[in-house]
Amino acid sequence: MNVDLMRKIDHHLGIPLTFVSTYVLKTLYWLKGKKPTTPKNILFVELSEMGSTIIADPAMKRAQKVFDANLFFVIFSKNKPSLDLLNTIPQENIFTLCEDNLFTLMRDAVRYLFWCRKNRIDTAIDLELFSRVSALLTGFSGANNRIGYHNFHGEGLYRGEMLTHKVSYNPHIHIAKNFMALIHALEAPKPEVPYAKVLISDDHIRLDQVTFSDDEKAFVHQKVADCYADYDRDAHELVLINPNASDLLPQRRWPKANFIALMQQVLTQYPNALVLITGAPNEREEAQQLLEQVDHERCINFAGQLKLLQMPILYSIARLMVTNDSGPGHFSAITPLKTFVLFGPETPKLYGSLGNSTPIFAGLACSPCVSAANHRKTPCTEPVCMNAITVDTVFKQVQIELNY
């Protein structure tokens, strides 16, 4: 299913389903007399954003440490590889939903109900802000503790009232701190309205860093050499360019002409720079088109050369990366790679990378234009906010790093 179809299903089916489910679940739990219990098997629900699985990692690790609990996760199948980057959730504890069409989604939703009972899920934490599907999955998980975001008196998306711990989403702090607030709600010694009346510092949302063996690095170096025969790992500086962004919000893409001009400037002024255009296998053709327009021997189409789990190895040996606001900006955060992330429809104050990252944001009056109140869907068809980020602005930032 494409993104717009999924949003329509979530709206037209989600609203009546969450409304009815609210009263069904309240009746069932009242009849059974269920009350909050000590968390032992904690399920995290996050379906559609690969980068969010990285941002949520500090919260998941805190839940594991505080409660000595088993962690579980439910996610769309195409996004599962992002969970494997930090390996916080055991493979056998991950449930994937196939979102190919409505039938497969409903089929897997039924399977999910039995899976939750089999694993004795006692706590479900809904990380989503915009999805009614995730609200339903949380509500029908069978968990006594159900934690998530609630609108209270605010405007916004109706997602029913199936939570035992209602947390107020704070649009003024980073999403990683909002995720951490869900865990603090679970830790609260007594009921609160709203939950999570705590201070969450930057130290609480630091990501664990990953390291790689010499053999793993040598494998990636060889992949680069296979694409560029004159590659010298000691002489060349790898500059990564990620021109792609999720279809969830295509307005996040910087103009292709700008990426082309940026790559040409880097290659012209830095003879030791080797520019790699990265991306998934299905983005290889688009990367090739960019390569042909750059027209330089030290520009390489590297899209599809590595699996997602191998990309952090590349990040660990590269000098820097310039990327749209998308998954790679978050995946690189588990390595020391200097990353420049281009923001427009969203703001780095809420969604910035937790790594060694510098956000580049024009800050127009209309930007950011997506939020929890509009299902992250903008009416904008001409993302001036991205066009307003000039090539010179980005190149000056890149120069600082390459001259260091």
Work out the pLDDT band at 14, boundaries 50, 70, 90.
Answer: confident
Single out the residue of 150, 56, 45 nearest to residue 372, CA to CA. Answer: 150
**How many residues are listed for the chain in this entry?**
404
CA separation for the pair 220, 300 (Å, rounded): 14
> Residue 113: is its pLDDT beyond 80?
yes
Torsion sign over Cα 97, 103, 106, 107 = negative
CB neighbours of 247 closer than 8 A, spacing ≥ 6? Answer: 2, 3
Q: What pLDDT does 33 receive?
A: 61
Work out the pLDDT band at 34, boundaries 50, 70, 90.
Answer: low
CA separation for the pair 248, 153 (Å, rounded): 28
Which pairing describes strands 41-45 and 70-76: parallel, antiparallel, or unpaired?
parallel
> What CA dihedral angle connects 322, 323, 325 and 331, to 10 degrees?
-100
Work out the pLDDT band at 99, boundaries 50, 70, 90.
Answer: confident
> What are the CB-based long-range contacts (under 8 Å, 24+) for 92-101?
93/119, 97/47, 99/1, 99/6, 99/47, 100/1, 101/1
Single out the residue of 248, 209, 242, 239 nearest to residue 85, CA to CA. Answer: 209
- For residues 239-251, average pLDDT: 84
Give me the residue label for tokens 């939703």. 109
pLDDT (tens digit per residue) in 312-342: 999 999 999 999 999 999 999 999 999 999 9
pLDDT (tens digit per residue) in 272-294: 999 999 999 999 999 999 999 99
* Rounded (5°) CA angle 184-185-187: 60
Work out the pLDDT band at 116, boundaries 50, 70, 90.
Answer: very high
CA separation for the pair 21, 44 (Å, rounded): 20
CA separation for the pair 291, 91 (Å, rounded): 37
Give the phi and the psi of residue 167 in degrees, each rounded to 5.
Answer: -110, 135
> Residue 31: is its pLDDT beyond 60?
no
Angle between helices 391-403 and 256-269 (to 10 degrees): 30
Instruction: Check if the beta carbon of residue 185 is closer than 8 Å to that of residue 165.
Output: yes
> Residue 30: is its pLDDT beyond 80?
no
CB neighbours of 1 closer than 8 A, spacing ≥ 6? Answer: 9, 99, 100, 101, 102, 105
Cis status, amide bond into 171, omega within 30 of 0: no
Our separate counts of H helices and E strands in the chain read 15, 12
- Cβ neighbours of 396 (radius 10 Å): 10
Q: Higher model confidence: residue 238 or residue 7?
A: 238
Give the phi and the psi of residue 100 in degrees, each rounded to 5.
Answer: -60, -40
- For residue 301, the one-letter residue type is N
